[in-house]
Amino acid sequence: MSDGKLVFTHGNGAIVEGAISAGCRFYAGYPITPSSEIAEEMSNRLPKVGGIYVQGEDELASINMIVGASMAGAKAMTATSGPGFSLMQEGLGLAIATETPVVIVDMMRAGPSTGIASKAWQGDIMQARFGSHSDYEIISIYPWSVQEAFDLTVESFNLAERYMTPVVLLGDAILARMRERLHIKAPDEMNIILRKKPGESSENYLPYKRDQFLVPAIASFGEGFFVLKDSLTHNERGYYYEKPEVQEKYVKGINEKIEKNARDIEKWDAVLTEDAEVVIVAAGTMARVAYSMIMEARKKNRKWGLFRPITIWPFPEDQLKNATKNARYIIVIEMSTGKLVYPVKWSINENARVRLVSWLNYEAPSPEELERLCEKEMNG
Amino acid sequence: MNLQSQTAAQKRSFEVLVINDRCKECGLCIELCPPKVLDRLDNYNNFGYRPTYIKDEAGCIGCKICEYACPEFAIFVRKVDKK
Amino acid sequence: MEELVHPLERYLRSEKLPHMWCPGCGIGTVVQAFLRAVDELKIEQDKIVVVSGIGCTGRIPQYVKFDGAHVLHGRAIPVALGVKLARPDLKVVVFGGDGDLASIGGNHLIHAARRNADLTVIMVNNFIYGLTGGQVAPTTPKEVVTYTSPYSPDSKPVDAVKLVSAAGASFVARWSTAYPVLLKESIKKAFNHRGFSFIEVISQCPELFGRINGFKSTYDLYQKIKRIGIIRRGISPYEAKYDWNTEISLGEFVNFDAPSYYDQLKEIIERARGEGK
C-alpha cells in the first residue's frame, strides 16, 4: 500500500497508484494501446493488496464486470482507449441507469476507428459526454501531469462514490507514457469518500429515493435489502413501470443529480486570466504546451492567459465566463478537429471572440509553433 | 385479491387452493391432472380469465402436478388435517 | 375467509404479480423450480443475487425477492461474475433466454465456462426471441418458422449443451418445463457444484412460437416438448441430440470437480502476497 513516497513514473502508473490509494480493489480490463500498462500494473499490484484483476474476454465483459463488482460494493475500474471506449458505451449507460459508481479511463489515441494506437489525440471529448444513447450527464476529468493523474484518479473515485455515477477519466497517449515525479500521498494526506449507506433495511426501503443533493443511498448486494437494480426505467422503488410520470422523474433525477451539483463538481485552473486580452483554452497535454506559450508571451509583455478545464464535464461554464470577461480573443487549442470548442462557445453564448486552433499532428507542438498559429487566428 | 378455498368435503385428503387473480387460464393444471379433478370456472377473475377450480374434491390424490406445472404461483395443494 | 398464501410466497415480490409472461409460458415454471431449490436447500434469502439480461426470461429478477440486477442484453454473465468476485460469499445465479445467452451473450457464456466461473447459469430455451415479438434465434430448429424466418431459419441451430461443454464447463444439464421436479433437483446440485454450472431448460412459448407454428394451445406445445425431450443417463454432451423431429436429449451430461474461478484468483492472491510487496 502507498505510504507517502516519491517515485518517477508514467501517467499510466500514476493512475494505478491513485486507484489503489483510493481503495480500488477490482479491475477488469482488456489490453489496448496506450492504456495496457494500467492493466499490466493492476494485474501485478492488485493481488498483492488482496484485490482482484480480471482480464475480460473483451471490453464488453470488462465494463459489465466492473459494474457488477460495484453493485456488490467494490470500488472498480477499467481502462481503455477510443475503440474500446466505443464498445463500453452501453455498459456506461447501465452504470448511469442503475446509478453505480465506476471509473473508466479513456487514454485517447489518434482516430477515428483503429487510428494510430500509440499516438496521442484529444478526439473523444464529446464521446465522454454523449457516447451512450439517450439523456444523461456525466463527470469527466482530464489531468495534465503525472501528479494530476494520481490526484485526479483519487478524485474520480471520490466523485463516483459521492454521486453514484460513472466517471470518465480522460488521458492521451502522451500523458500515458510520459514520466515525471510523483508524490504518492500517504493515506492521512487524502480524503477518501465511500458511498452513502442506506439506514435500516425495511419493506419500505426506496433505493432510488434522492437526498437533498439528489443522490440516492443505494444498498449494495448482500446487505439484506433485496434491492433490484434495473436498466429499465424505474421509480424510487427500483421497479419498472411504463408510465410517463415515471420516465420523466427518472430522467430528471439522473440528469439533475450532476447538473445541480455542477458547482461542487467542476474543477478548473485559470492562469493569468485576470487581465488577459487573449485567453487560451486547452486541456490535458495541449494545455502543457499552451502554458509554456503564455508564460513566454507574458515575458514579452503580451497579456495572454490560460483557462484549463480540469473537469471537461460538467464544463466549468461560469468560471470560463469569468476568466474571459476582459478578453478580446478566446483561442481554443486542441489536438482534434474541434471538440472542446463547443462547450466553450455554449458557455459564453457567442462565437465572435472564439477561435479554434485545431492541431492535427499527433506530435505535440512546440510553444513557438503554437504561438504562430494563435497569431494567425487573430490576424487572419 | 379474489380468493377461493375448497372446504369441508369430509372424504377428501387434500385441498386444492387457487389464487384466482393469478390464474391466466393456460389450462396446464387441468390437462395434466391425472385423476382429472380440475376444471375452469364459468366466471372471470379481475383480469378477464376464468380460473381453475377443483370439481371433485375427494378425487385429488395430492400429486401436486398442478402446483409444480403452474407458471403463475396460482395453485397449490395442501394435505387436509384429519382429526 | 383465510388469506391464501402460496408456499413459496416469501420468495416473491407479490405486489408485482401476476407477472408479465403470457398464459402458459414456461418461464414461471422455471422460476418455481428455482425457488423450490432455494427453499429446500435452505439458502439464506439475503445471500442470493439473481442477474438477468434482456428478454422475457430477463424479467425474472423483477418478480423474485432477492438482490437482483436486470442488466443489458447478453451481459448478465459478466455483471454476475463481477458481483461474485466482489462478494464471494454470495450465491449468484444468472437467468437468460436462448436469444440472450446463446446469441449476443455467447462469448461471455463460453468464457465463463472456460474459467469455471462461480455462477449458476439457467438458460430458458423457447427457441425464439420472445419479448421482441417472435424472431428467429440461434437455437431455432430449421423445421419451424418465426417472424424473421418465414421461409425457415437460414442456418442450423446451435446446441448450447455442446457449446458450453466444449468450452470446458464442469456442470452441464438440460431439462424441460415438463420435468419441474428433475429440474429442481438439478438446480440444487448446481448450487452445490464448485464453479460453473449450466442448465438449459426447454420451455414453451405458446403465444408466439406455438401460435405461428400451429400449436393450438399451451398444452399442445407442452406435449410436443414432453414428447421430444428424452431423458438420457450416462451419455456425453456430444452424444446428446438436438433434433426437433426426433429428440432433444435431457439429463445431466457433464459433472466434474475442478477449482472454480474464485479459487484460482484466491491462489494468485496468496502467491502474490507470499512473494512480498
HEC string for chain A: CCCCEEEEEEHHHHHHHHHHHHCCCEEEECCCCCCHHHHHHHHHHHHHCCCEEEECCCHHHHHHHHHHHHHCCCCEEEEECHHHHHHCHHHHHHHHHHCCCEEEEEEEEECCCCCEEEEECCCCHHHHHHCCCCCCCCEEECCCCHHHHHHHHHHHHHHHHHHCCEEEEEEEHHHHHCEEEEEECCHHHCCCCCCCCCCCCCCCCCCCCECCCCCECCCCCCCCCCCEEECCCECCCCCECCCHHHHHHHHHHHHHHHHCCHHHHCCEEEECCCCCCEEEECCHHHHHHHHHHHHHHHHCCCCEEEEEECEEECCCHHHHHHHCCCCCEEEEEECCCCCCHHHHHHHHCCCCCEEEEECCCCCCCCHHHHHHHHHHHHHC
Task: Please give the grid coordinates belonging to residue C204.
Answer: 414453451
Q: Please answer yes or no on whether B71 and C25 come within 8 Å at the CB atom.
A: yes
- Kindly report the number of other CB atoms within 10 A of residue B79's CB atom: 9
Instruction: Fill in the amino acid letter for C189.
Output: K
Q: Please answer yes or no on whether C81 and A54 come within 8 Å at the CB atom.
A: yes
Task: Please give the grid coordinates belonging to residue C63.
Answer: 418478480
Residue C73 sits at the chain B interface (C-beta within 8 Å): no
Given a cut of 60, is residue B7 above it in pLDDT?
no
- Phi first, then psi, for residue C14 (nearest 5°) are -55, -35
Q: How far apart are CA A53 and CA A299, in angstroms?
A: 50
- Compute the average pLDDT of residues B50-75: 96
Q: What is the DSSP letter of C120?
A: E
Q: How far apart are CA B73 and CA A201, in angstroms?
A: 27
- Determine, yes or no, domain membership for C170: yes
Task: Please give the grid coordinates belonging to residue C36.
Answer: 423450490
Return the CATH fold of A5-189. Answer: Rossmann fold (3.40.50)
Given a cut of 60, is residue B5 above it in pLDDT?
no
- Please tell me the distance in Å from C262's CA to the nearest CA on chain B: 35
Task: Please give the grid coordinates belonging to residue A260.
Answer: 445541480
Check which CATH number belongs to the domain holding C152 and give it. 3.40.50.970
Which pLDDT value is given to residue A218? 97
Q: How far apart are CA C204 and CA C275, in angstroms?
A: 55
Q: Please answer yes or no on whether C71 and A240 come within 8 Å at the CB atom.
A: no
Pairing of strands B14-19, B75-79: antiparallel
- Phi first, then psi, for residue C161 (nearest 5°) are -60, -45
Which pLDDT value is given to residue B24? 98
**pLDDT tens column, C203-221:** 999 999 999 999 999 999 9
Q: Please answer yes or no on whether C273 and A52 come within 8 Å at the CB atom.
A: no
Which pLDDT value is given to residue C251? 98
**Residues 8-67 in B contacting C (C-alpha not used; CB under 8 Å):** 17-19, 21-22, 24-28, 31-32, 47, 49
C5 to chain B: closest CA residue: B19
Q: Please answer yes or no on whether C3 and B71 come within 8 Å at the CB atom.
A: no
pLDDT 10s per residue in chain A (380 long)? 446 899 999 999 999 999 999 999 999 999 999 999 999 999 999 999 999 999 999 999 999 999 999 999 999 999 999 999 999 999 999 999 999 999 999 999 999 999 999 999 999 999 999 999 999 999 999 999 999 999 999 999 999 999 999 999 999 999 999 999 999 999 899 999 999 999 887 888 999 999 999 999 999 999 999 999 999 999 999 999 999 999 999 999 999 999 999 999 999 999 999 999 999 999 999 999 999 999 999 999 999 999 999 999 999 999 999 999 999 999 999 999 999 999 999 999 888 999 999 999 999 999 999 999 999 999 97
Q: Please answer yes or no on whether C62 and A240 come within 8 Å at the CB atom.
A: yes
Domain interval for residue C156? 9-274
> In chain B, what are the domains?
3-7+23-79 (3.30.70.20)
Which pLDDT value is given to residue A200? 80
Crossing angle of helices C27-41 and C180-191, in 10° steps, is 50
- Compute the average pLDDT of residues B12-41: 96
For chain A, the chains sharing at least 3 beta-carbon pairs closer than 8 angstroms are: C
CATH 3.40.50.970 residue spans of chain A: 5-189
Among candidates A95, A122, A93, which has minimal Cα distance to A109? A122
The three-class DSSP label of residue C253 is: strand
Which pLDDT value is given to residue B81? 81
Pairing of strands C248-255, A228-230: unpaired
pTM of the model: 0.96
With bands split at pLDDT 50, 70 and 90, how would you rate the model's confidence at B10?
low
Given a cut of 80, is residue B83 above it in pLDDT?
no
Given a cut of 50, is residue B6 above it in pLDDT?
no
With bands split at pLDDT 50, 70 and 90, how would you rate the model's confidence at C275?
low
Which pLDDT value is given to residue A202? 80
Longest dimension (CA), chain A: 70
Peptide bond into A216 cis (omega under 30): no
B71 to chain C: closest CA residue: C28
Among candidates A174, A144, A47, A358, which has minimal Cα distance to C276? A47
Which pLDDT value is given to residue A146? 98
Residue C86 sits at the chain B interface (C-beta within 8 Å): no
With bands split at pLDDT 50, 70 and 90, how would you rate the model's confidence at B1?
very low
Given a cut of 50, is residue C1 above it in pLDDT?
no
How many structural domains is chain C composed of? 1
**Closest Cβ–Cβ partner in C46, C107, C273 for A222:** C46
Percent of chain C with pLDDT over 70: 98
- Please tell me the distance in Å from A355's CA to the nearest CA on chain C: 42
**Closest Cβ–Cβ partner in A60, A69, A223 for C83:** A69
Report ipTM (2 d.p.): 0.96
- Determine, yes or no, domain membership for C25: yes
Say whether domain A269-379 belongs to CATH 3.30.390.30.
Answer: no
Which pLDDT value is given to residue A201? 77
Among candidates A26, A19, A27, which has minimal Cα distance to A1? A19
